């Protein structure tokens, strides 16, 4: 089946993607990913999330291709039953797998019992509720409820019959139950809060797990805090779903409960027939368990799990050996699923997960090549360490296995930890990284250059010989028009695998035999396995030993074939050696038969001669037999010597292993300390939760105070309306209207302060005390304003009766507390007018208009300079205004206020040039005007010269400067700053005339 479309439609949250990546990508490569701070707060879809991880991985994840390809591999990798438990997903998150229907030999459909709950989650009512927040909460509750029911199937791997017609009726059954629940929904609570909703859901779910469901509790609380949905609709929907599950599972126990002889005897007994590289096989433990259930009267079959290995058996052997016992057992077809870099886990009969041993071997080699980068770091000095490691590997991946077997994921983790410990000494050794492929794609020469760049020619001198064949193989499997960087990673891996299996003399042969015993020789396409596709064991032996002579057909008729060779079914190394010995014996016997036939021809017909010749022939046979035995014993002696050498080497390795055990003990001590630290961290987290509770109480108090502020706002608005009515009656009273406008502006300022207070509530954890003081000050100001408003209202009432003329303000009024507020309001109004930057924009427009009217560079420079001067004046003016505002706020007096500088404006020389150019746009500005303009500015300090300031004019170039600036300049230089001719200060050297 092609699931590419289905996989692309799978929805996975960002947390689910992160959990799957930790299992899919080696830990050493994942440690290179460093996301920027604040990244978790961004809302990204799945593909953007994967792209961000690839972009921030320091180019260490290029082997996985594009973000879309990696996301598709992650979805395929996590698509197996109970994957959410294996990856540690949050129970509130929906199922992210596709339920698969498996066919038996007759075409009937079966489904894993764990996938039934996933199918229910996908079928039952998508987008049931109108509000998206309500629908999201309902889906979380639905996932938790289904996963609670799913726990009944934990610890088994069983299947049920999949009837598509019955699943089509589930939607109608659910809608009928929903109608009944809506009719009986009058008794339900009308006013929901967080505690009532949580207790209601706990009643529907008998087993509540506080640690696992803490994420759901936070979501439920956020749902009520945001007030973005209606929990009444959610409660009705989840109650309907709970009632539906009770009715759905009660009559069909075979669908979800494990097999039991008494309570669930009608459950189908199913055995999976796996298919990989054209070979069909079953798990022995699963087969023996099914046979024992269906044949309770016969002797029980046993199959033990040793070192995390689950042995398999070919489907043909099952049909031959257990033909009489498997009649009432269903065999379903289960193809092995793989991604580009890893195999998809398979459920074991006990509910765990495993993969094929051959897949585990190639995954370990992949981590050695790319994660540990061992072959780039190893040298001639450390070559023996590499040989020792591979010799250790052959103890687990032994060539003596005569059948395929699986490895549990727990055993896989143990072996990987040993790998990391073994190669930890090479962790800090530098190594070259694989370079990126160019735009034109990868070529054979690029592959050879990259192998040399990685430094692999020192370790494997013949590695470039595989480049062309590997390139053609990778080119056939390409996904785009050109070969990319990820294809270069595949090519380097294939070249290294060929070298590993061919370079090491003993280890390579053992690994080849192991791969052959696991029926995975197709994964090593460049290494031709001599043991595959051989029809006869005798011919297989001849291929393995080419030095043995091939007998003629006539000799084969004379010599009998040994029984052991004719009965050979497997091709283990011991069997091959036995067949070679048998060949030598047959060749010797051929020579004996030829000799006897020759003697019979030359002998006479007398009986004595015949007897003596027979005796001689028998003696020769015995001699040759003894010679053969001597040769065998000599070979055995040589073997014993080799074995002794190996034993010595093993003893040395045992000593080294002891040192490793000591290091392991130290690591265990470190792990204990880490556990203690983890406990301390948990305690700190509990304390943080208590502090969060206190902070929530304080936020509630702040909310009450915020409500009080809102009430005060309403009162102030009422007062504003009153003042607007009063102002209509007192049009003639100009001063009073200004006072009212001033108070209204103060009210607007207070509104702004209250808005800023609302924003600061969110940062309450850091600025709690400061905010409380600020609120209290604002409340005092509000009380003062209310008193003033009351006084003004009384005055306005009196004015309505009689409007006498208003006297000007006296010194007592200046010193009143309301005067500093007026000044503060005026300064704030000035600041607000500059905040909009209207003056600067108008100045820029004038400068651009002047530039566009003439092409003279001098005028352009003057315009740019005037614009900079104007911006500086604006900035200085705003600074002075802000300083005065701050002083008035601090002292509440106007006596210490600084006088404001002149209002920002252009200089006279600029305005003269500007109006000349505007009045006569077709004529250029005359040079005389430009010269006059230049003289209006001091050449030394660049400030404008006013008419009341003393100036000094150069007699040569006629340039004018400030008298003060010129005197300072002439004390040092004694020359004009413009023309550099001699000039003296007239105050120091006055004219004699």
What's the pLDDT at 225? 87
Give Cβ neighbours of residue 23 (< 8 Å, ≥ 6 apart): 77, 86, 87
Strands 309-314 and 405-408: antiparallel
- Specify whether the CB–CB gap between 315 and 280 falls below 8 A: yes
Cα radius of gyration (the chain): 47
Measure the N-to-C terminal CA separation of the chain; round to a whole number of Å: 116
pLDDT computed for residue 757 by the predictor: 62
Write out the DSSP string of 100-155: -EEEBTTS-EEEEHHHHHHHHHHHS-TT-SSSHHHHHHHHHHHHHHHHHHHGGGTT
Residue 648, class by beta-carbon neighbours within 10 Å (0-12 exposed, 13-18 middle, 19+ buried)? exposed
Nearest to 429 by CA among 390, 394, 385, 460: 385
- Inter-residue long-range contacts of 460-465, CB under 8 Å, 24+ positions, other chains counted: 460/375, 460/496, 460/499, 460/503, 462/499, 463/495, 463/496, 463/499
Strands 330-335 and 270-276: parallel
Partnered with residue 313 across adjacent β-strands are: 282
Angle at 195 between CA 193 and CA 197, to 5 degrees: 65
In contact, 969 and 959? CB cutoff 8 Å: no
30 close to 22: Cβ distance less than 8 angstroms: yes
**Which among 954, 950, 949, 948 is positioned nearest to 931, based on CA atoms?**
954
Rounded to whole angstroms, the Cα distance separating 137 from 226 reads: 13
Q: From CA 170, how far away is CA 178, in angstroms rounded?
A: 12
Residues 374, 367: Cα–Cα separation, whole Å: 9
For residue 474, what pLDDT is reported?
92
Q: Which contiguous run of DSSP H or E holds residue 160?
A: strand 159-161
Q: What is the pLDDT of residue 78?
A: 93
* DSSP state letters, 391-416: HHHHHHS-TT--S-EEEEHHHHHHHH
Burial of 523 per CB tally in 10 Å (0-12, 13-18, 19+)? middle
* Helices 383-396 and 409-422, axial angle in degrees (round to 10): 160
3-state secondary structure of 954: coil
Please tell me whether residue 313 adopts helix, strand or coil conformation.
strand
CA distance 828 to 831: 5
Sign of CA dihedral 790, 791, 796, 799: positive
**Nearest Cα to 279, choosing from 533, 79, 477?**
533
Beta strands in 715-762 (DSSP E): none
Residues, the chain: 993
- Please give the backbone phi and psi of residue 92, each rounded to the nearest 5 degrees, phi first: -75, -20
Cβ neighbours of residue 837 under 8 Å, at least 6 residues apart?
none
| CA 525 to chain CA centroid, nearest Å | 34
What kind of fold does domain 935-992 have according to CATH?
A: Herpes Virus-1 (3.30.40)
Question: Within a 10 A sphere around the Cβ of 521, how many other Cβ atoms?
Answer: 19
CB 182 within 8 A of CB 233: no
Sign of CA dihedral 272, 277, 280, 285: negative
Beta strands 346-347 and 353-356 are antiparallel
DSSP-derived 3-state class of residue 535: coil
Do residues 270 and 110 make contact, with C-beta atoms less than 8 angstroms apart?
A: yes
Q: How far, in Å, CA of 205 to CA of 186, rounded?
A: 22
CA distances, 740 to each of 118, 743, 745, 814, 921 (Å): 69, 5, 9, 17, 49
> Are the C-beta atoms of residues 474 and 526 closer than 8 Å to each other?
no
Distance set, CA 442 to CA 262, 471, 534 (Å):
65, 9, 37
User: Which residues are 330's β-sheet partners?
Assistant: 270
- The whole-angstrom separation of Cα 557 and Cα 355 is 48
Any idea what DSSP says for residue 191? S
Closest by Cα among 339, 371, 361, 446 to 61: 371
Report the pLDDT value the prediction gives residue 311, as an integer from 0 to 100. Answer: 93
Answer whether 71's CB lies under 8 Å from 10's CB: no
Rounded Cα distance, 205 and 197, in Å: 13
Mean pLDDT, consecutive 10-residue stretches, the chain (993 aa), reads 64 90 92 82 84 92 93 93 91 90 91 89 69 85 89 88 76 68 54 86 81 86 84 84 79 72 86 93 94 90 86 93 90 93 93 94 92 84 80 85 91 88 84 90 92 89 90 89 92 91 78 89 78 47 31 34 34 42 42 37 51 75 80 79 80 77 78 80 80 79 78 71 46 50 68 64 57 58 60 56 39 49 80 78 86 84 85 85 83 76 80 77 48 63 79 87 89 85 84 63
Apex 43 CA angle, 40 and 47, nearest 5: 95
Candidates 143, 119, 121, 127; CA nearest to 219 is 143
Q: What are the domain boundaries of the chain?
A: 1-79, 113-256, 373-523, 819-919, 935-992
Side-chain half-sphere CA neighbours of 814 within 13 A: 6
Do residues 971 and 957 touch, judged by C-beta distance below 8 A? no
Contact 360, 412 (CB under 8 A): yes
């Amino acid at each position: 089946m092609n699931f590419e479309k289905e996989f692309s439609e799978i929805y996975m949250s960002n947390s689910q993607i992160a959990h799957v990546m930790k299992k899919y990508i080696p830990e050493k490569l994942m440690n290179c990913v460093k996301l920027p701070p604040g990244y978790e707060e961004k809302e990204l879809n799945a593909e953007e999330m994967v792209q961000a991880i690839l972009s921030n991985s320091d180019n260490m994840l290029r082997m996985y291709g594009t973000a879309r390809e990696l996301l598709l591999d992650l979805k395929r990798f996590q698509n197996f039953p109970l994957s959410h438990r294996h990856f540690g997903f949050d129970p509130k998150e929906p199922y992210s797998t596709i339920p698969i229907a498996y066919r038996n030999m007759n075409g009937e459909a079966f489904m894993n019992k764990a996938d039934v709950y996933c199918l229910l989650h996908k079928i039952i009512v998508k987008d049931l509720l109108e509000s998206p927040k309500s629908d999201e909460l309902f889906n979380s509750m639905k996932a938790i409820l289904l996963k609670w029911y799913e726990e009944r199937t934990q610890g088994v791997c069983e299947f049920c019959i999949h009837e598509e017609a019955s699943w089509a009726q589930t939607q109608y059954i659910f809608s009928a139950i929903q109608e009944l629940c809506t009719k009986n929904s009058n008794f339900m609570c009308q006013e929901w809060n967080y505690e009532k909703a949580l207790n209601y859901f706990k009643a529907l779910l008998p087993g509540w797990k506080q640690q696992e469901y803490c994420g759901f509790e936070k979501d439920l609380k956020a749902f009520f805090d945001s007030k973005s949905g209606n929990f009444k609709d959610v409660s009705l929907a989840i109650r309907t779903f709970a009632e539906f599950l009770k009715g759905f599972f009660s009559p069909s126990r075979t669908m979800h409960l494990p097999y039991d002889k008494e309570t669930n005897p009608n459950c189908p007994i199913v055995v999976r027939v796996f298919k990989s590289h054209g070979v069909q096989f079953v798990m022995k433990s699963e087969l023996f368990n099914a046979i024992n259930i269906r044949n309770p009267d016969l002797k029980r079959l046993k199959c033990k799990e040793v070192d995390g290995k689950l042995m398999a058996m070919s489907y043909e052997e099952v049909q031959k050996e257990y033909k009489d016992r498997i009649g009432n057992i269903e065999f379903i077809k289960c193809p092995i699923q793989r991604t580009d870099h890893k195999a998809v886990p398979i459920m074991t009969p006990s509910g765990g997960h495993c993969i094929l041993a051959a897949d585990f071997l190639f995954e370990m080699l992949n981590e050695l090549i790319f994660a540990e980068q061992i072959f780039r770091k190893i040298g001639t000095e450390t070559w023996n360490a590499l040989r020792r490691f591979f010799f250790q590997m052959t103890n687990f991946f032994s060539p003596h296995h005569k059948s395929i077997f699986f490895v549990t994921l727990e055993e896989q983790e143990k072996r990987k930890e040993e790998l990391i410990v073994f190669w930890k000494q090479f962790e800090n050794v530098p190594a070259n990284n694989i370079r990126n492929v160019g735009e034109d794609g990868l070529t054979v020469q690029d592959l050879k250059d990259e192998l040399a760049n990685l430094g692999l020619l020192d370790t494997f001198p013949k590695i470039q010989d595989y480049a062309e064949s590997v390139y053609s193989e990778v080119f056939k499997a390409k996904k785009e028009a050109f070969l990319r960087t990820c294809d270069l990673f595949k090519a380097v891996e294939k070249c290294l695998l060929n070298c590993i299996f061919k370079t090491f003399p003993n280890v390579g042969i053992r690994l080849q035999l192991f791969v052959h015993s696991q029926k995975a020789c197709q994964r090593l396409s460049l290494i031709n396995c001599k043991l595959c596709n051989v029809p006869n064991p005798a011919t297989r032996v001849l291929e393995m030993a080419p030095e043995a002579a091939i007998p003629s057909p006539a000799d084969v008729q004379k010599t009998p074939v040994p029984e052991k060779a004719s009965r050979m079914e497997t091709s283990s190394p011991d069997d091959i050696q036995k067949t070679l010995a048998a060949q030598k014996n047959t060749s010797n016997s051929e020579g004996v038969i030829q000799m006897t036939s020759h003697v019979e021809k030359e002998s006479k017909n007398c009986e004595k001669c015949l007897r003596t010749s027979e005796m001689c022939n028998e003696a020769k046979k015995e001699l040759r037999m003894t010679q053969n035995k001597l040769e065998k014993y000599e070979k055995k002696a040589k073997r014993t010597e080799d074995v002794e050498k190996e034993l010595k080497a093993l003893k040395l390795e045992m000593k080294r292993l002891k040192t490793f055990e000591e290091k392991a003990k130290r690591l265990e001590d470190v792990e204990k300390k880490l556990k203690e630290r983890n406990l301390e961290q948990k305690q700190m987290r509990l304390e943080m939760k208590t502090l969060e509770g206190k902070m929530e109480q304080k936020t509630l108090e702040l909310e009450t105070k915020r409500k009080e502020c809102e009430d005060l706002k309403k009162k102030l608005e009422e007062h504003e309306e009153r003042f607007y009515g009063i102002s209509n009656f007192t049009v003639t009273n100009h001063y009073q209207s200004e006072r009212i406008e001033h108070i209204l502006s103060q009210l607007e300022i207070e509104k702004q302060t209250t808005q800023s207070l609302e924003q600061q509530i969110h940062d309450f954890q850091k600025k709690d005390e400061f905010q409380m003081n600020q609120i209290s000050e604002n409340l005092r100001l509000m009380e003062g304003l209310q008193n003033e408003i009351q006084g003004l209202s009384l005055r306005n009432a009196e004015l309505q009766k009689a409007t006498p003329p208003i006297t000007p303000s006296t010194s007592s009024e200046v010193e009143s507390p309301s005067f500093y507020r007026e000044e503060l309001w005026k300064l704030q109004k000035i600041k607000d007018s500059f905040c909009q930057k209207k003056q600067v924009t108008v100045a820029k427009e004038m400068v651009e208009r002047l530039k566009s009217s003439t092409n003279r560079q001098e005028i352009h420079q003057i315009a740019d300079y005037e614009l900079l001067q104007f911006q500086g004046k604006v900035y200085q003016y705003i600074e002075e205004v802000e300083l005065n505002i701050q002083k008035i706020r601090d002292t509440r007096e106007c006596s210490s206020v600084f006088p404001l500088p002149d209002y920002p404006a252009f200089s006279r020389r600029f305005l003269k040039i500007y109006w000349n150019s505007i009045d006569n746009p077709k004529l250029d500005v005359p040079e005389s005007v430009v010269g006059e303009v230049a003289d209006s500015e001091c050449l030394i300090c660049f400030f404008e010269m006013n008419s009341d300031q003393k100036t000094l004019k150069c007699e040569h170039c006629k340039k004018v400067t400030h008298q003060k600036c010129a005197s300072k300049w002439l004390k040092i230089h004694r020359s004009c700053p413009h023309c550099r001719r001699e000039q003296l200060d007239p105050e120091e050297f006055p004219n004699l005339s």
